[in-house]
Amino acid sequence: MKSLVELIAHKRDGGELSPADIERVVGALVSGDLADYQMTALLMAIFLRGMSDTETVALTNAMTRSGDVLDLSGVPGVKVDKHSTGGVGDKVSICLAPLVAACGVPVPMVSGRGLGHTGGTLDKLEAIPGFSVNLDTSRFAEIVRDVGTSMIGQTARIAPADKRIYALRDVTATVESIPLIVASILSKKLAEGIDGLVLDVKVGRGAFMKTEADARRLASALVRVGTAAGKSVVALLTRMDAPLGLAIGNANETREALLVLAGVGPADLVECTYALGAEMLVMGRAAGSLEEARAKLAAAVASGKAAEVMERMIAAHGGDPRVVADPSLLAVAPKTVEVVASRSGFVSRIDALELGLSAIELGAGRTRADQAVDHGVGIDLRKKPGDAVQAGEPLCVVRARDDAASTIARIAAAFAIDDRGPEDKPIVIGRIDRSTAE
């Protein structure tokens, strides 16, 4: 049997590791028999040499089994989750989970905090007074069974190897490796005890994948590996050049997600939510076609059933369910600054990345892992790409704790105004399933 050092050298030299080899490595990392600097050497070898699908499946499975795999057998039905690769203004999970659950598909969701310029679902949920994302797995399973959905953070026993490996990747320039990204995403999701997964792979300036070709490669790998691991997996590619919806910031985005459940959300956010939700209902066997699924989603909103599920989930997590009917109960920073147009014309571009970074400067995100976020600060767009605007008319409203002059200037520079607007493009760029994964 090769030593752990020999396995590192084998991958360094372009060799393929067997599933047993990968199981040994992950087990040794968790037990402490493999030092962090040795794992770092292996990660760099993987970054440079890549991994086959067989290796990536083995790594995903080993990371999944490094902790607890939740048993949701007591929850009837096909359990389906959704994962987004992250974007600016992406609050879809908050409205999608209760909406899909209201249509009869259980949604167990383990979510994350903000990463880089993208906001985190957990931070947005914690803008709801009293809402706890730190529930144990038994309570999580109970809520999924009784309410239809629950949204928690990754516990110490859910894919602990992923936590260790990601921390090393983050500081050793090995984040941008598709096999490592795939294993990280899927190990956490498979540990939830789900039957199926719908992926939202963002594309554009405000996404981690800037080009459609890169996003398609990642989506295809996620679908191939997730399918090989025994799950139903579908991926949608969605645009992320401009922010999704009109709200950026924690309480801001939670407020807008609640508006979707009330039937009055922004068109692009509603379309993204319905496109993903329709895939989840078909995967969960609650609808026979995407058209039927969309009709069921719309009916759940119109009847108030989706909002009712949200109220029940919030209450089960210790939060104040009154926010669903009255989103004004969510925090708002005291200082309001309008950013106005310098000329008349059409909004031709809104730089999502710059607005995401500006929101962090306001306090909506973190520059260190130990920082708290300010739930009340954020940016409310008044114009979207393609909208006509007059000189002096507000482009957005910034909610801050102080005058934030340098951030206001950065936000203003994120808007471009021209004599004509951009071509109208659909939010969903493409769809990848097991038959079309490259």
Q: Any idea which residues carry the catalytic annotation?
A: 83, 162, 169, 184, 188
**192/200 Cα distance (integer angstroms):** 18
Task: Using CB atoms within 10 Å of the CB of residue 177, give its burial: 0 to 12 exposed, 13 to 18 middle, 19+ buried.
Answer: buried
- Amino acid in position 285: R
**230/235 Cα distance (integer angstroms):** 16
How far is CA 201 from each of CA 44, 84, 207, 242, 293, rounded to the nearest angstrom?
25, 6, 9, 15, 21
CB 104 within 8 A of CB 77: yes
Backbone angles phi, psi at 75, to 5 degrees: -100, 115
CB atoms within 10 A of CB 241: 21
CB 81 within 8 A of CB 113: no
Q: Which residues neighbour 68 within 8 Å (Cβ) at sequence distance 6 or greater?
A: 137, 155, 157, 158, 191
- Amino acid in position 293: A
How far is CA 371 from each of CA 150, 211, 219, 310, rounded to the nearest angstrom?
25, 31, 32, 28
**119/335 Cα distance (integer angstroms):** 21
CB 261 within 8 A of CB 99: yes
CB 325 within 8 A of CB 253: no
Q: Which two tokens stand for residue 202?
A: 């963002």
- Amino acid in position 432: I
